C-alpha cells in the first residue's frame, strides 16, 4: 500500500516538472519566432491611437462638427474597443499587439475606473430627484406617481407641456405641498419655496428656473435647467452651438448665486466630460461621480448610453446617487441624497 501510494504521488508530482519544460519551450518558441513581434503591427497602432484619443480628448477641436464634444459625450464607450483589440491580438498571436493593448487599458481605468466602485453611503438629510418627462409622454400621471414613489423631498421636472402641467400638478399634490412651474420646467417640494424666478439661458423662452428650498436643515438654492438638445447630422456633425451658449449663461447665473448651498437638477444634454459644460461643471460636482455606483447612464431609457441628466452640487455633501426605474419617458429619472 505504501509503495502504491508513493507511485501515485510520484506520478502526480511530475505535473509541475512537465509544466516547467513546457513553459521553457513556449518562451523559446517566442524568442525563436520573430514573427510574433512583426505580426499585429496594425493592431498595435490602433491600440496606441485609441489611448491617445482618450488621453488627449480635450485637444480634439470642435471647429469641425463639434467633434471634440461628440467624442467626450461617449468617451467611456471607447473602452469597448479594448477587448476587441485583445481578442484580435490573441488570434494573430502578436506579442507586439498584446503589449500595445495594455496602453489604452491603463488609460481607460485611470479615467473611469473610479466610477466602477460603489461610493454610496448612508445618512444625509435631503433627497432630490430630476426627470425629463418627455413632452410626448402618454402616461404623465403614471410618470408623476413613479417619481413621487422615489421618496424624494424635492423633484425637478423638465420638458413640461402646457397641457400636461395640470396632470403633474394633480398627481404630485398629495406628496408635494409646494411647487412652481416656469416655462417648460418645474420644481415640486415638500418644503416651502421662496425667491422663485426664471433663469435666462439665452433661448428666448423659459427652460430654466431658480428657487430657494427652505428645508428643515437649512436653505438650498435649487436650479432646474433643460439645455437645448443636440443632434448628430452627417452634413453638420454634432450640432450643439445653442446648447453651448445656454450652458455658458447657466454657468454665469450659478456663479452669481449668493447662497453657498446650491444644487442643479436637470437635463443638460451633455456629460461631465463635455468641455462645452465647463461653465457649469467647473463650479459644481456630480453626485454620481462623488457618491454613485457605476456610470449612472440616463439616456436613452431603452438602452442608456450617456448620463446627460445631472444632479450637481456646491456647498453640500453628496451621500448617495442612483438611477430610478424607467417611466413613460425616453429618459431615466435620477436621484441623490445629500447632507446639508
Question: Would you state the pLDDT for residue 122?
Answer: 92
Hey, what domains does the chain have and what are their CATH numbers?
A: 33-116 (no CATH), 126-339 (3.60.10.10)
Q: What is the pTM of this model?
A: 0.86
Question: Would you state the pLDDT for residue 37?
Answer: 82
Q: How does strand 218-226 pair with strand 208-215?
A: antiparallel
Q: Name residue 263's beta-bridge partners.
A: 222, 313
- The tens digit of pLDDT for each residue in 48-57 reads 999 999 999 9
One digit per residue, pLDDT tens: the chain, 340 residues?
A: 444 444 444 444 445 555 567 656 555 655 566 677 888 999 999 999 999 999 999 999 988 778 888 899 999 999 999 999 999 999 988 999 999 999 999 999 999 999 999 999 999 999 999 999 999 999 999 999 999 999 999 999 999 999 999 999 999 999 999 999 999 999 999 999 999 999 999 999 999 999 999 999 999 999 999 999 887 655 444 567 899 999 999 999 999 999 999 999 999 999 999 999 999 999 999 999 999 999 999 999 999 999 999 999 999 999 999 999 999 999 999 999 999 9
The strand order across the sheet containing 126-132 reads 178-182, 185-189, 154-158, 126-132, 334-339, 317-323
3 state DSSP class of 135: coil
* Residue 91 CB contacts under 8 Å (≥ 6 apart), including other chains: none
Torsion of CA 251, 255, 261, 263, to 10 degrees: -10
Whether the ω angle into residue 300 lies within 30 degrees of 0, i.e. cis, is yes
- The tens digit of pLDDT for each residue in 98-149 reads 999 999 999 999 999 999 999 999 999 999 999 999 999 999 999 999 999 9
Amino acid at each position: 500500500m505504501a509503495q502504491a501510494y508513493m507511485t501515485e504521488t510520484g506520478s502526480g508530482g511530475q505535473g509541475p516538472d512537465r509544466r516547467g519544460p513546457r513553459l521553457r519551450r513556449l518562451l523559446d518558441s517566442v524568442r525563436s519566432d520573430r514573427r510574433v513581434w512583426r505580426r499585429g503591427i496594425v493592431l498595435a497602432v490602433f491600440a496606441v491611437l485609441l489611448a491617445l484619443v482618450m488621453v488627449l480628448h480635450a485637444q480634439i477641436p470642435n471647429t469641425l462638427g463639434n467633434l471634440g464634444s461628440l467624442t467626450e459625450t461617449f468617451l467611456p464607450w471607447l473602452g469597448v474597443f479594448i477587448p476587441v483589440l485583445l481578442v484580435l491580438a490573441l488570434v494573430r498571436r502578436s506579442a507586439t499587439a498584446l503589449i500595445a493593448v495594455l496602453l489604452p487599458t491603463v488609460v481607460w481605468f485611470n479615467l473611469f475606473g473610479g466610477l466602477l466602485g460603489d461610493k454610496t453611503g448612508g445618512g444625509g438629510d435631503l433627497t432630490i430627484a430630476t426627470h425629463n418627462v418627455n413632452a410626448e409622454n402618454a402616461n404623465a400621471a403614471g410618470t408623476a406617481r413613479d417619481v413621487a414613489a422615489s421618496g424624494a423631498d424635492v423633484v425637478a421636472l423638465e420638458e413640461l407641456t402646457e397641457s400636461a402641467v395640470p396632470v403633474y400638478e394633480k398627481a404630485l399634490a398629495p406628496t408635494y405641498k409646494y411647487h412652481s412651474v416656469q416655462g417648460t420646467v418645474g420644481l415640486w417640494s415638500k418644503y416651502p419655496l421662496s425667491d422663485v424666478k426664471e433663469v435666462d439661458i439665452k433661448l428666448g423662452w423659459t427652460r430654466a428656473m431658480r428657487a430657494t428650498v427652505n428645508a428643515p436643515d437649512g436653505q438650498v438654492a435649487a436650479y432646474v435647467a433643460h439645455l437645448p438638445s443636440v443632434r448628430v447630422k452627417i452634413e453638420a456633425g454634432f450640432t450643439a452651438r445653442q446648447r453651448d451658449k445656454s450652458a455658458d449663461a447657466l454657468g454665469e447665473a450659478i456663479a452669481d448665486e449668493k447662497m453657498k448651498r446650491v444644487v442643479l437638477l436637470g437635463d443638460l444634454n451633455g456629460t461631465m466630460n463635455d468641455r462645452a459644460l465647463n461653465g457649469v461643471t467647473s463650479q459644481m460636482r456630480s453626485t454620481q461621480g462623488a457618491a454613485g455606483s457605476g456610470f449612472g447612464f440616463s439616456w436613452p431609457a431603452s438602452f442608456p448610453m450617456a448620463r446627460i441628466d445631472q444632479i450637481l452640487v456646491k456647498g453640500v455633501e453628496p451621500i448617495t446617487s442612483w438611477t430610478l426605474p424607467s417611466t413613460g419617458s425616453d429618459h431615466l429619472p435620477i436621484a441623490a441624497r445629500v447632507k446639508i
